[in-house]
Amino acid sequence: MTSVRVALIWAALVAAICVPIALATTSDLIKWRGTVYILAGFAGIFALGLLLVQPLLIAGYLPGFSAYRARRAHHWTGGVLVTAVVVHVGGVWIASPPDMLDALTFTSPTPFSPFGVIAMWAIFAVALLAAFRRRLGLRRFRIVHMALAAVIVVGTVVHAALIEGTMETLSKASLCLLVFGAATKVMADLVRRLRAASRRQALPDSH
């Protein structure tokens, strides 16, 4: 891969994440928000951006990483994602405890809340799952991880799409589509690899 292509890939990734964040800073809604609420909101936007990075890392689509380093980066980025979600949820809790309590108990009148809460618990579940991946076995871990990742991506994308907040509409839609598209591509590739591995394991039994 040429250095120009590598630079373009990284530039496109940085732009996909940073442009929505930059445009969100220009929103008029920020003027009416408190500091904690603003921090929570941007933590949520940052978490959405990390969901684009995660599948690209684990699938080896980002240049400059060996397979081992890509996996390590995926693990560390997952930790940052969990932290961002905690900041997002914690900030909203501090800024508006009743709203967060309604969201966590699925009694909020806002349509975006349940999707965000489901995605949050799925993210925490993946973090817990990663701690026990050796006990589960690689194949079982991948299957459960992929199922939870699908819940995370769908829940987060719908959550973000339904919120009428600081994010600029076009850049938010673009980032959401990229997150969904990247996750779908990586999951489809993984399913094909798992099926191929199963067929190879079944071959000796057919003789």
Instruction: Identify which of 145, 10, 158, 155 has the alpha carbon closest to the alpha carbon of residue 75.
Output: 145
Low-confidence ranges of the chain (pLDDT < 50): 206-207
> What is d(CA 84, CA 80) in angstroms, rounded to the nearest whole number?
6
Instruction: Identify which of 26, 46, 27, 30 has the alpha carbon closest to the alpha carbon of residue 38.
Output: 30
Question: Tell me, what's the pLDDT at 166?
Answer: 94
Question: Tell me, what's the pLDDT at 38?
Answer: 95
Question: Tell me, what's the pLDDT at 207?
Answer: 47
In-domain check, residue 59: yes
Domain count, the chain: 1
Residue range of the domain that includes 55: 3-202
In-domain check, residue 50: yes
> What is d(CA 176, CA 170) in angstroms, rounded to the nearest whole number?
10
Burial of 62 (0-12, 13-18, 19+ CB in 10 A): middle
Residue 44 CB contacts under 8 Å (≥ 6 apart), including other chains: 84, 85, 88, 160
Secondary structure class of 167 (helix, strand, coil) = coil
In-domain check, residue 22: yes
Residues 11-30 pLDDT 10s: 999 999 999 999 999 999 99
Question: Tell me, what's the pLDDT at 138?
Answer: 81
Question: Tell me, what's the pLDDT at 204?
Answer: 62
> What is d(CA 147, CA 151) in angstroms, rounded to the nearest whole number?
7
Question: Tell me, what's the pLDDT at 205?
Answer: 55
Secondary structure class of 71 (helix, strand, coil) = helix
In-domain check, residue 31: yes
Question: Tell me, what's the pLDDT at 201?
Answer: 72
pTM: 0.91
> What is d(CA 129, CA 127) in angstroms, rounded to the nearest whole number?
5
